[in-house]
Amino acid sequence: MGPLARFETVGLRYGTDAEVLRDISFRLDRGAFMFLVGPSGAGKTSLLKLLYLDEKPTRGRLTLFGKDIGAASRGELTALRRRVGVVFQDFRLLDHLSAFENVALPLRIAGVAESEVTAHVEELLGWVGLSAKANVRPQTLSGGEQQRLAIARAVIARPDLLLCDEPTGNVDPEMAARLLHLFQELNRLGTTVVVATHALQLLPRVPSATIMRLERGRIEDPTGTVRYAPDSTRAVGTR
Amino acid sequence: MVGWLPRAERYRFLPPEPVLRTALPWIVALMVALATLGVAAGMALAMGVGSLGMGVSSGLTVQIADGNPDRKAERAARIMTVLEASGAVTDPRQLSEERTNALLAPWLGTDDAADVLPVPVMIDANLVSGADVAAFRAAIADVDPEAIVDSHGEWFAPFSRLGWTMSGLALGAALLLLVAMAATVVLGVRAGLGRQREALGILHVLGAEDRIISGLFQYRLAVTTLVGAAGGFLMAMLVLAAISLLLADIGGGLLGAASLPVWGWLGLLIVPVLAVLLAMLTTRMTVERALGERI
C-alpha cells in the first residue's frame, strides 16, 4: 500500500499571482500524524487546500489515495473529498443550521440513513461535550464550542485523512490538550492527521508526529520532512 | 410530509430564501402574462382567419352586367344552366331582384334600384374542394365572355396571409419573451450562487456532488417560477376574459371569429408549464456550468 499523499515538486499559484507554494515534495504515510508549522503566510493553509481538494496544483504532481489529482474526474474528486475531514481556522459552520444539523451534514450529503445519522451525531456531540446544545445555532456558541462543533463535523464520517487548520487557536490550553488527545485517538484508530498550527508547545505532546515546516511557500528542509525529537523543540534530523 | 422534497432541500443544505424576496418571480409573472397574451392573440388570429377563410374561400360570384334587361336575363339563365351542370360548383343561386334592391337601398336611397340602374345580375355558388378556378372561369367565358367570375378566395388570400403572419409574429413574440425569461433566470441563478457562495464552498469540501447542488437550485427555481408563472397566467386570464366580453359585444366579423374555443383556453396552460420547465433546464445548465469552474 502506497503513501496516502505524495507531493512531487508541486507548485500552486492563485490566478496570475506569484506561487504561494513552490517545489513541495514529500510523502504523507497512511496512519501518520503530521504537524505543519511555519509563520503566517508561509503556505500552510494553501497546502491543506491541496489536500482537501479545494485547489489543484498548478505545477508538479499530487497523488492522493493513490489517485493522480491532475488526472482525476470531478466524480472521483468528490468521492475523494468524502474521505477527508477538515477543521477550518474560521470553523465555516453553516449559521442557518443547528449544531446537530451541522455535524450531520457530511453524512446527509453522503446519503446515510437518517436513523444512523441521528445515532452517530448524538454520540459525537456527547464526545465533544455539546449534547446539551444540539439544537442551538452555531452563532450562539462560544469560540471553543464552535471549534469543537467544527471538529465533530470533520470526523463524523470517519475520514481517512483529517486536516486541521489552527484547531486550537480559539480554545484555552486545557481544551487544546483535550482536542489534541482527540486527534491522537482518531489517529490511533487509523486516521491520518495533519495539523497546521502556530502552537509549537503542542508539538512535544505527540511524540510520534512528523513535523514539517513551511517558509515562504517552500519546505524549509528541501531534502524532506523535518522531524523533531519528542523531547526537543528543534529539528534533529530528516528523512 | 416533506418526503418528496429533494434531500438537499429537506435538510436545508443551503440557507432558505423566501420566494418573493427576489425580483425573479415578479419578472417571471410579467413575462408569462405577456407571453400568454401573445399566444392567445396568435391563436385567436389563426382561428379567426381560419374560420373566416373556410367560410368565404370556397365562395364565388358570377356577375352579368348588361344595359338590356331582357338580354341580361337571358345571359343569366344561360350561365345558370352551365353552373347547374358543372361539377366544379355546388348550390348555384341567383340573387333575386328584391334582394339586390335591398342590398343597394342604403346607398341609393331607393328600393327599386334595379329598375332605374343597370344593376348586374349576381349568381353565387360554392366551388367544390380542389376545383380549378381558372378552368371554371374559362368555362364561363366560353358561354359568356363578358361575365365576370369573382372568386372570394382570391380577394381573401392577402387578408389570410396577413392574418397568419401576424399570428406567427404573436407566437414568435411569446417565444422570445420566454427566452428573455430564461435569460433572467440565468442572472437570478448566478446571483443566488453568489449569495450562497460560502455555504456552497463548504458543501463542496464536504463532498457534495454537483447534481445535489444543481438539484437544490433547480427545485428552488421551479418553486419560484411556478409562483411567478401562476400569477402571470392568472393576470393574463383576467385580461383575456375582459377582451372576450368586449368581443362578445362586437359580434361577428373577424373579431367575432377570433374568440378561443375551450381547448384553446386550456392550450394556453402550456405557457406557464413551458416557463417552469425552461427555468428548471436553464437553472441546471447554469449551476452545472458555474460548479464546473471549480475543481
Q: The pTM is what?
A: 0.76
Which value, to the nearest 10 degrees, does the dihedral of the CA atoms of residues B158, B161, B163, B164 take? Answer: 170
Q: List CB contacts (< 8 A) between B292 and chain A.
A: 74
Name the residue with cell 449544531: A99
Report the distance separating Cα B19 and Cα B228, nearest Å. Answer: 9
Closest CB to B205: pick one of A52, A79, A96.
Answer: A52
- What is chain A's Cα-based Rg? 18
Q: Check A78 against B295: CB less than 8 A apart.
A: no
3-state SS class at A158: coil
Q: Check A97 against B209: CB less than 8 A apart.
A: no
DSSP chain B: --TTS-HHHHTTSS----GGGSSHHHHHHHHHHHHHHHHHHHHHHHHHHHHHHHHHTTEEEEEE--SSHHHHHHHHHHHHHHHHH-SSEEEEEEPPHHHHHHHHHHHHS-S-HHHHS-PPEEEEEEEPTT--HHHHHHHHHHH-TT-EEEEHHHHHHHHHHHHHHHHHHHHHHHHHHHHHHHHHHHHHHHHHHHHTHHHHHHHHHTT--HHHHHHHHHHHHHHHHHHHHHHHHHHHHHHHHHHHHHHHHH-SHHHHHT---HHHHHHTTHHHHHHHHHHHHHHHHHHHHHHHT--
pLDDT along chain B (295 residues), means of 10: 69 80 90 95 86 79 88 90 86 85 78 73 87 86 90 85 90 94 93 90 92 89 93 95 81 61 88 95 93 82
3-state SS class at A3: coil
Helix (H) or strand (E) holding A89: none
Q: Which of B10, B196, B206 is best to mutate for the A interface (most A CBs within 10 A)?
A: B206
Closest CB to B295: pick one of A53, A109, A153.
Answer: A53
What pLDDT shows up at residue B253? Answer: 58
- What is chain B's Cα-based Rg? 31
Pairing of strands A67-68, A218-219: unpaired
Report the distance separating Cα B54 and Cα B35, nearest Å. Answer: 28
Report the distance separating Cα B64 and Cα B120, nearest Å. Answer: 5
CB-count burial class (<10 Å; 0-12, 13-18, 19+) for A158: middle
Q: How many CB atoms lie within 10 A of CB A180?
A: 23
3-state SS class at A197: coil
What pLDDT shows up at residue B111? Answer: 65
Closest CB to B199: pick one of A52, A94, A101.
Answer: A94
Among candidates A7, A82, A101, which has minimal Cα distance to A46?
Answer: A7
Residue B199 contacts A, CB cutoff 8 Å:
yes
DSSP B18-47: -GGGSSHHHHHHHHHHHHHHHHHHHHHHHH
239 residues of chain A, pLDDT tens digit each: 679 999 999 999 998 899 999 999 999 999 999 999 998 889 999 999 999 999 999 999 999 999 999 999 999 999 999 999 999 988 999 999 999 999 999 999 999 999 999 999 999 999 888 999 999 999 999 888 998 899 999 999 999 999 999 887 777 788 788 888 889 999 999 999 999 998 888 888 888 899 999 999 999 865 555 555 444 444 433 33
Which value, to the nearest 10 degrees, does the dihedral of the CA atoms of residues A125, A127, A133, A139 take? Answer: -80
Report the distance separating Cα B295 and Cα B284, nearest Å. Answer: 18
- Give the 3-state DSSP-derived string for B233-247, with helices as H, strands as E and coil as C: HHHHHHHHHHHHHHH
What pLDDT shows up at residue A228? Answer: 52
Contact yes or no for B268/B32 (Cβ under 8 A): no
| Residue B128, C-alpha cell as written in the block | 367544390
End-to-end CA gap in chain B: 36
| Residue A161, C-alpha cell as written in the block | 485523512
Q: List CB contacts (< 8 A) between B205 and chain A.
A: 52-54, 81, 86
CB-count burial class (<10 Å; 0-12, 13-18, 19+) for B185: buried
3-state SS class at A223: coil
Report the distance separating Cα A94 and Cα B15, nearest Å. Answer: 8
Among candidates A228, A127, A223, which has minimal Cα distance to A182?
Answer: A127
Contact yes or no for B108/B43 (Cβ under 8 A): no
3-state SS class at A36: strand
Among candidates A99, A92, A205, which has minimal Cα distance to B201?
Answer: A92
What pLDDT shows up at residue A221? Answer: 66
Distance from CA of B6 to the nearest CA of A (A): 12
Name the residue with cell 438539484: B215
Q: List CB contacts (< 8 A) between B17 and chain A.
A: none
What pLDDT shows up at residue A232? Answer: 42
